[in-house]
Amino acid sequence: MMEIFRKKEITMIITTMSFLIAFLPYFFDLPAVDQLSTLTVNWAITVSYVMAIIGLIYMSMINITKLQKKTKGWQYGAITLILVWYMVLAGLGFGTKDMKFSFFYNAIAVSLTALVGGLISFYLVAAGGRTFRARDFRSTFLLIAIIVVLMKNAPIGLIIWPGFGPLGTYTIDVLVAGANRAFKIGTAIAGIALGLRILIGRETMVAEG
């Protein structure tokens, strides 16, 4: 019996049905399909909640095994477990507005994010100084764009030369946005192609489960 559900065709049928249920209401007024679409999307939401719980359990199991075997970095595993479960229990027990929950978030998460951002900026500058070279036309163009945008985003740049303002705006609004648009259209077309490949069973990873 279970063999039937492992068949590639079954996966394909489920995928195609889910696709059509979610896709058709965007283009046609079909109340029954729309209701079905709402229901399946609700299932997807429920599955995503369950996935978060599974992720928490799985992460705990990995770190508990690490602690038991005393493998390299087990101390970090212990800190992770303590903090994650503290946040889960404090959030569930006292609510996210309680000081016992928010203090840890504000004192640790916010500060560490600032720390990471600050550290990256140092390495970014060092890397810029050592690697941004005008080696050929393309790298020279990139360098000019970097300098123009940096100066445009700093008030002192506009004091040095007011032209950085319109030039920087043009770089961001036209050149960068144009390149981004091309990239987005490209990824959208690639997404459609991938979807079609899944639907006609050419993507073996999906079709075979």
Partner 1 sequence: MVDMFKVMATIDRRIYFLLFLTIMIGGSLYPVVLPMPITNWTQTFYNKVNEVQPGDILIVHMGAGPEVRLNMWSAYKLILWQFIQKRPRIIWMTTWPNAFPVGEMLLNDPLIKDAIKMANYVKGVNFTDIGFVYGEPALVNLAKDFHGFTENKFKGTWLDEVKDMNDIQYYLCFGASGDYHWAAKQISLIYKTKIFTVSDPGLFPTHIIYMQAGNFYASIEGVTGSAEYELLTKHYGEAVGRMGIISMTHLAFVLIIIIGNIGYFGWERKERAKPIKNLGEKHD
Q: Locate 7 and state its tokens.
A: 């068949």
Amino acid identity, position 82 = I
CA atoms within 13 A on the CB side of 65: 6
Cα 189 to Cα 174: distance, rounded to the nearest angstrom: 22
Closer residue to partner 1 (CB): 67 or 84: 84
Least distance (Å) from partner 1 to the CB of residue 163? 13
* Helix H or strand E segment including 141: helix 137-152
Tell me which residue has tokens 């729309």.
34
Tell me which residue has tokens 């946040």.
87
Closer residue to partner 1 (CB): 76 or 105: 105
Least distance (Å) from partner 1 to the CB of residue 45? 5
Least distance (Å) from partner 1 to the CB of residue 143? 7
Closer residue to partner 1 (CB): 179 or 200: 179
Least distance (Å) from partner 1 to the CB of residue 164? 10
Q: Locate 3 and state its tokens.
A: 């063999």
**Would you call 102 exposed, middle or buried from its count of C-beta atoms within 10 A (0-12, 13-18, 19+)?**
middle
Least distance (Å) from partner 1 to the CB of residue 179? 8
Least distance (Å) from partner 1 to the CB of residue 161? 12
- Contact positions toward partner 1, by CB under 8 A? 26, 34, 38, 41-42, 44-45, 48-49, 96-97, 101-102, 105-106, 109-110, 113-114, 117, 121-122, 125-126, 128-130, 132-135, 143, 146-147, 150-151, 153-159, 165, 169, 172-173, 176-177, 179-181, 184
Closer residue to partner 1 (CB): 13 or 154: 154
Closer residue to partner 1 (CB): 72 or 129: 129
Closer residue to partner 1 (CB): 176 or 200: 176
**Distances, alpha carbon 194 to alpha carbons 28, 46, 105, 197, 203, in Å:** 23, 25, 40, 5, 8
**Distances, alpha carbon 38 to alpha carbons 29, 42, 61, in Å:** 14, 6, 35
